[in-house]
Structure 1
Amino acid sequence: MTKILQVKDLELSFHTFAGEVKAIRGVNFDLIKGETLAIVGESGSGKSVTTKSIMRLLPQSSAEYKNGEILFEGKDLTKVSEKTMQKIRGKDISMIFQDPMTSLNPTMTIGKQIMEPILKHQKLSKSKALEQTINLLNLVGIPNAESRYKMYPHQFSGGQRQRIVIAIALACNPKILIADEPTTALDVTIQAQILELMKEIQKKIDTSIIFITHDLGVVANVADRVAVMYGGKIVEIGTVDEIFYNPQHPYTWGLLSSMPSMDLADQKLYAIPGTPPDLLNPPKGDAFALRSEYAMKIDMERQPPFFKVSDTHYAATWLLHPQAPEVEPPAVIIERMKTFPGSRYYVEQTGGNA
């Protein structure tokens, strides 16, 4: 498996009037060529800041890379010049933002906006760039592309505008596509269409995707692996099945328990108590400890390291320490874990037999 991107020990702060906000606190992950990695967590957990730091889109006046590396094709993106980053942005690494209406220039036709990165990075003639623009509009499912490329953003529906934003991001066949909650502003029907479109395009151009979302239902449909973020750190990472059906961190239990389910229609929806930590003064120990009913004394004093659950699954919780007491996850999580071969509940139920 080829690692196309490696984020190592990334620490990033924002300098504000109130003080230093330690937004990213030692984040590590790899992106494998051709995979979709979803990063999930509550608002303020550090998902978007992490991905914008890869693109170097954070304000230079307040954001500071304190430590770590972001390695792409042998280059540390935290140290390359802005001129080098301008060559990488849009060509090798592209980003789809949350709100298509604010991502598009209302004074320019959509054709010109799609052609812009093509002309900048591929040095094609205008006629060739136009031909590629129409091909891209057809690829993302805009009908009558040959005539509609002359239209303005306000003349399209919300779902079509998001397709146009995707076309701009794909204009140079990027090696990495970062999608920052690209379906949040859309209704569920259009959302499903956009997600299906992204999966189809990924197969066609063999790109790697980092998908940012707080919607775990979306994750189940698009991701190969999932990283769960909380308080500026990744607290659990594994394959989509491992995170959904054998979660190990209390925060992941809380996120999954708060998902609406048709099977639990009569039950009250769970809500994680408390609020995310203040990263002006990050907690000394586990950032989730004050909100967790499973917290131990050591959680208040020391940050947990990553414990290995499997070759692809790691979680940063003291509950996985050999000397930790055995605790029972919420009932809804236990029911999920009973269906996952290798979880202790599956083994207890079946004796380890499929």
Structure 2
Amino acid sequence: MAKTILEVKDLKINFKTYAGLVHAVRGVNFDLKEGETLAIVGESGSGKSVTSNALMKLIPQPPGIYASGQILFNGRDLVPLSDKEMSKVRGNDIAMIFQDPMTSLNPTMKVGRQITEVILQHKKVSKADAKKRAIELLTQVGIPFPEKRYNQYPHEFSGGMRQRVVIAIALAADPKLLIADEPTTALDVTIQAQILELMKEIQKNSKTSIIFITHDLGVVANVADRVAVMYAGQIVEYGTVDDIFYNPKHPYTWGLLGSMPDLDNDADELLRTIPGSPPDLIHPPRGDAFAARNEYAMAIDYEQEPPMFQVSDTHFAKTWLLHPDAPKIPLPAAVAKRIEGYLAKGAQAND
């Protein structure tokens, strides 16, 4: 059985603002095993990027506040560590790939030097060996003519190639955990697919654990082992990819699945949307935070926060619809149709 590399327990992150205290992350719990990919999915403002930045201790304090919780990396709690102590963890043990490669790269420095600097900072090697390793990494992430590219500047690369350089930098010190925060959002669909394939290949070869942050459930199906669905600073559903795609239980997950564009849809079929908008987290709502947007909400949803119900050994969901006394709600037609499509594609792939 794979070893657990990361445990997040009751993590709460607040931000002091002029308008009041924003409760951005509200009691998040999850774990990650060696060689596993966990996708954290949700709309903008759901708290997924704050959670990922918190793991790296990149939340500026102030205005950020680690209100409670633990981030256990190989059994060591990162929350109380100083910035100096965390600098030994960042890059070396945990590395991050950000959304926009151009803001991650230094435009005045050749890409080869940007990779070798990370290697020299974390590994006891000579400059010659660091350069050799940098060229190997450029080759590994699929950049042609790596010896030539080593001496070029970021502006000489396309968007997809820049993101490959960022991945090479993230891999430079052989981290045990890679956090990818919307790494394909700024890229076109073809390049996006190439980057996702590259990340799958990296994981297969290096056994690196990956946390993949995205708003796109379509991306998740191809890269993740498990999925955490976030809404209003909380994880509302948690399970394997099959649990989430074939047996979703939370109405918010239904909304995300139903609103995914599908190339197989009829041309005149309207794309579904989730009505309303996420709640104000300066004043988090009573009860279930999704109640105001949930057409299946019951009276209790507005009064009492639901617990995390266990659906199976791997599957959990935070909704009163799973209470034994709740009415049995059939899957919305758009979600049922989407699941039928996934099953059909899976059957075709196995033929």
- Taking structure 2 as the reference length, the TM-score comes to 0.95
1:18 aligned onto 2:33: no
Q: 1:29 — aligned with what?
A: 30
Q: 2:305 — aligned with what?
A: 303
Q: Where do 4+ consecutive residues of structure 1 move more than 3 Å?
A: 335-341
Match of 2:275 among 273, 277, 292: 273
Q: 2:314 — aligned with what?
A: 312
Q: 2:86 — aligned with what?
A: 85
Alignment partner of 1:310: what SS?
coil
CA contact (8 A) 2:257 2:338 kept: no
1:322 aligned onto 2:324: yes
Q: 2:253 — aligned with what?
A: 252
Q: Give me the CA root mean square deviation.
A: 1.3
Q: Cα offset for 1:300?
A: 0.5
Q: 1:154 — aligned with what?
A: 155
CA contact (8 A) 2:4 2:74 kept: no
Q: 2:348 — aligned with what?
A: none
Q: 1:31 to 1:190 in 2, by over 3 A?
A: same
Q: 1:153 to 1:339 in 2, by over 3 A?
A: closer
CA contact (8 A) 1:11 1:24 kept: yes
Map residues 279-298 of structure 1 onto 2, 5 A cutoff.
279-298=281-300
Q: 2:127 — aligned with what?
A: 126
Counterpart AA for 1:319: L
Alignment deviations for residues 81-125 of structure 1 (CA, whole Å, 9 cap, x no partner): 222210000010000000001110001110111111111110211
Q: Cα offset for 1:262?
A: 3.0
Mapped to 2, the partners of 1:161 and 1:260 lie a distance apart of 27
Q: 1:5 — aligned with what?
A: 6
Q: 1:240 — aligned with what?
A: 241
Counterpart AA for 2:159: G
Alignment partner of 2:155: what SS?
helix
Alignment deviations for residues 230-265 of structure 1 (CA, whole Å, 9 cap, x no partner): 000000011101101110000000000001123322
Q: Cα offset for 1:332?
A: 2.2
Structure 1, 97-106 or 331-340: larger mean CA deviation: 331-340
Alignment deviations for residues 184-240 of structure 1 (CA, whole Å, 9 cap, x no partner): 010111111110011111111110000000111111110111000000000001110
CA contact (8 A) 1:245 1:336 kept: no
Counterpart AA for 1:304: P
Q: Cα offset for 1:338?
A: 6.5
Mapped to 2, the partners of 1:334 and 1:258 lie a distance apart of 12
Counterpart AA for 1:54: L
Mapped to 1, the partners of 2:160 and 2:192 lie a distance apart of 8
Counterpart AA for 1:9: D
CA contact (8 A) 1:111 1:149 kept: yes
Mapped to 2, the partners of 1:205 and 1:139 lie a distance apart of 11
CA contact (8 A) 1:307 1:320 kept: yes
Gaps of 5+ in 2: 344-351
Q: 2:70 — aligned with what?
A: 69
Mapped to 1, the partners of 2:92 and 2:143 lie a distance apart of 22
Match of 2:336 among 314, 326, 334: 334
Q: 1:348 — aligned with what?
A: none
CA contact (8 A) 1:246 1:336 kept: no
Alignment deviations for residues 246-293 of structure 1 (CA, whole Å, 9 cap, x no partner): 100000000000011233223211010001010000011111000000
CA contact (8 A) 2:40 2:212 kept: yes
Q: 1:262 to 1:147 in 2, by over 3 A?
A: closer
Alignment partner of 1:262: what SS?
coil
Alignment deviations for residues 133-177 of structure 1 (CA, whole Å, 9 cap, x no partner): 000001011111112211100000111000000000000111000
Counterpart AA for 2:244: I
Q: Cα offset for 1:339?
A: 8.7
User: Identity of counterpart residues, as a percentage?
Assistant: 67
Counterpart AA for 2:291: A
Counterpart AA for 2:6: L
Alignment partner of 1:123: what SS?
coil
- Taking structure 1 as the reference length, the TM-score comes to 0.94
Mapped to 2, the partners of 1:19 and 1:165 lie a distance apart of 36
CA contact (8 A) 1:239 1:312 kept: yes
Gaps of 5+ in 1: 342-354
Alignment deviations for residues 41-91 of structure 1 (CA, whole Å, 9 cap, x no partner): 000000000010000011112110111100012211111122221000001
CA contact (8 A) 2:258 2:338 kept: no
Structure 1, 75-84 or 238-247: larger mean CA deviation: 75-84
Mapped to 2, the partners of 1:32 and 1:98 lie a distance apart of 24
CA contact (8 A) 2:115 2:168 kept: yes
Q: Cα offset for 1:340?
A: 9.6
